[in-house]
Structure 1
Amino acid sequence: MLTQMTKVLTLLRHGESEVGLGQKEDFSRKLTSTGKLKLERLTNVLATRSLEYSAVVSSTATRTRKTTEIVIKAIQVKECTFLDALYLADVQTIVDLCGNLPNECSKVMIVGHNPGLSAFLSFLTGEYQPSLQPGMMAMIDFDVDAWEVAITRGMGNLVEILQ
């Protein structure tokens, strides 16, 4: 008899960033010193857990790249990818991305932006309007063996939120 695998998806909103002026400058916004400090505290918690991820997929914006660089120091990651499509991605874009993840990847982290990331969390868990603040992380698990099944409305179980 085959045992059912569990998929784990972690959603991480980038750390607190500088105020931006206009779309062009928004992409290049950097983390504030407070944002970096909060992410360092988060990594201290993550480091005690010996977490291993098959993949981390991040937006290419400056603030998400830096958030990813800080956080992956505290976890083990087989593959880290930066995708332009995650920059200010809407729910459908994130659904498409996650639904096409290789099934061999059992634990994946997505580093992105609001409002799409919080809306995606709501879509997966059925939780009413959760709001991921800068530097906040949500861990969701799915009792399925295929991402295309997992990434369906209400299929996820919100396990934990860290900040």
Structure 2
Amino acid sequence: MAESKFLYVLRHAEAKPGIGIKGDFLRELTLEGRKQLDRLLGMLKKMDFKTDLILVSPAIRTLQTSEIIGFGFPSDIRKIVDDIFDAEPQTLIELLNDIKGEIQKVLLIGHNPGISALVSYISGQDYISMKPGMMAIIELQVDDWKMLGGNTGILKEILQ
């Protein structure tokens, strides 16, 4: 097997309340949410965190999360993907299956309940509830993103 692939799954940080689907889409991070991400960013810097690709939902709170966590990464590795917003796990799997083989490390920034279900499915764990600002680190047991599916990864750590 080639070099291990890693999937980092991040739930956006705490956001202000919103009403309805349009209001939900426009929710911004709270001050506490920004503090959550500052703590997480400190942990990631200590780990010398690197990623080849950042996939992010177009919702305001996920874009703000990606700006804070993606600080220092080249802007061309961040891809805004409409399908991540309100996505089912299968939609997220299909999105990840389309990643080019040379990409080794992907950061996916999205929403619950889809990302919690995704982490649980890939790692074969009982349901893992991703709280706002939590990041799951999954080492994938596949050579190509096309092979990603249920029980194909090992949950290495959850950061908060």
> Normalised by the size of structure 2, how large is the TM-score?
0.95
User: Are 2:147 and 1:154 aligned?
Assistant: no
> Could you report, residue by residue, the CA deviation over 1:81-104 in whole angstroms, capped at 9, with x for unpaired residues?
111111111111101000111111
Paired residues in the alignment total 160
- Aligned partners of 1:53 and 1:78 also within 8 Å: no
- Aligned partners of 2:142 and 2:152 also within 8 Å: no
> For the residues of structure 1 that align with 2:76 and 2:41, how far apart are their CA atoms?
18
- Counterpart of 2:108? 110
Q: CA deviation at 1:48?
A: 1.4
User: Are 2:117 and 1:135 aligned?
Assistant: no
- Counterpart of 1:15? 13
1:140 partner letter: I
2:90 partner letter: Q
- Counterpart of 2:38? 40
- Counterpart of 1:24? 22
Percent sequence identity is 37
> Could you report, residue by residue, the CA deviation over 1:6-51 in whole angstroms, capped at 9, with x for unpaired residues?
1100000000001111111100000010000111111011111222
- 1:115-130 aligned at under 5 Å gives the runs 115-130=113-128
Q: CA deviation at 1:52?
A: 1.5
Whose strand proportion is higher, 1 or 2? 1
- Aligned partners of 1:5 and 1:143 also within 8 Å: no
1:120 partner letter: L
SS at 1:12's partner residue? Answer: strand
> Normalised by the size of structure 1, how large is the TM-score?
0.94
Structure 1 gaps of 5+ residues are none
- Aligned partners of 2:115 and 2:130 also within 8 Å: yes
Q: CA deviation at 1:144?
A: 2.4
1:54 partner letter: D
> For the residues of structure 1 that align with 2:157 and 2:51, how far apart are their CA atoms?
16
Structure 2 gaps of 5+ residues are none
